[in-house]
Chain A
Amino acid sequence: QVQLQESGPGLVKPSQTLSLTCTVSGGSINSGDHYWSWIRQPPGKGLEWIGYIYYSGSTHYNPSLKSRLTISVDTSKNQLSMKLSSVTAADTAVYYCARESEPHYFDYWGQGTLVTVSS
């Protein structure tokens, strides 16, 4: 059974960089069978796809976040990470990592981690 677990600071100051890591267990990022995505959900609101990474390191980002976003992968640790720079209160959300299968759906999700942007 594939499991994903997000980790990182729960509080980030405005203008700083939000950094999160997702550890995958029960399956290998290296298998090349799936993409690995980040998705976020502001409190009381809907879901927003952030971007994905493939085991090779190729990425695809939501155009609305592309200028501030970096997603990376460490296959030796079976982890993916994301960095979102110049954060504002609008970036406050629960951040999920998820496994993406074809055709473009998310079949396994982490439990999510709340990141609050506040001074």
Chain B
Amino acid sequence: QSVLTQPPSVSGAPGQRVTISCTGSSSNIGAGYDVHWYQQLPGTAPKLLINANSDRPSGVPDRFSGSKSGTSASLAITGLQAEDEADYYCQSYDSSLSGSKVFGGGTKLTVL
């Protein structure tokens, strides 16, 4: 089981808004550690989408946004496009696991 919990799948029609949740605990997200998000297109390596909860690296469309509150974080995608169909992973740092980086189990986004 993953330390961070994500829904296995979400879906939405083109143009719609979807959100993906990431739930942690008091030793990771709740302890104040930042949450980062990655997009993994089929057959490719993960790509950094959001870092430090809400910062978008250069080149990432502003349709992608992140937020964090308490022991949870969320990734929102607005104006859904077919090319957004991918797996999405959240990631943080966990102080109870000897300082390990931890990932969510991943969420498969299907664009209907």
Contact = CB atoms under 8 A, between A and B. Distances in A.
Interface of A: 37, 46-49, 60, 62-63, 96, 100-101, 103-107, 109-112
Interface residues of B, number: 27
Nearest to A101: B51
B61 to A, nearest CB: 17
Given A63-B97, A96-B45, A103-B33, A46 B92 contact: no
A109 B52 CA distance: 18
Contact of A105 (B2, B51, B99, B105): B51
Interface of B: 2, 33-34, 36, 38, 44-48, 51-52, 57, 89, 91-93, 97-106
A105 B45 contact: no
Decide if the interface of chain A is mainly helix, strand, loop or mixed: strand
Most B Cβ at <10 Å: residue of A37, A60, A104, A110: A104
Given A49-B100, A49-B101, A101-B51, 15 more contacts: A47-B38, A47-B46, A47-B91, A96-B45, A100-B101, A103-B33, A103-B52, A104-B36, A104-B101, A105-B48, A105-B51, A105-B52, A107-B51, A109-B46, A112-B45
Nearest to B99: A60
Contact of A111 (B45, B103, B105, B106): B45
Nearest to B57: A107
List 10 tightest A-B contacts by C-beta distance, closest first: A105-B36, A49-B101, A109-B45, A47-B103, A104-B93, A105-B51, A46-B106, A46-B105, A103-B34, A63-B98
Given A37-B101, A105-B91, A112-B45, A47 B106 contact: yes
B45 A46 contact: no
A46 B45 CA distance: 12
Nearest to A103: B34
A5 to B, nearest CB: 11
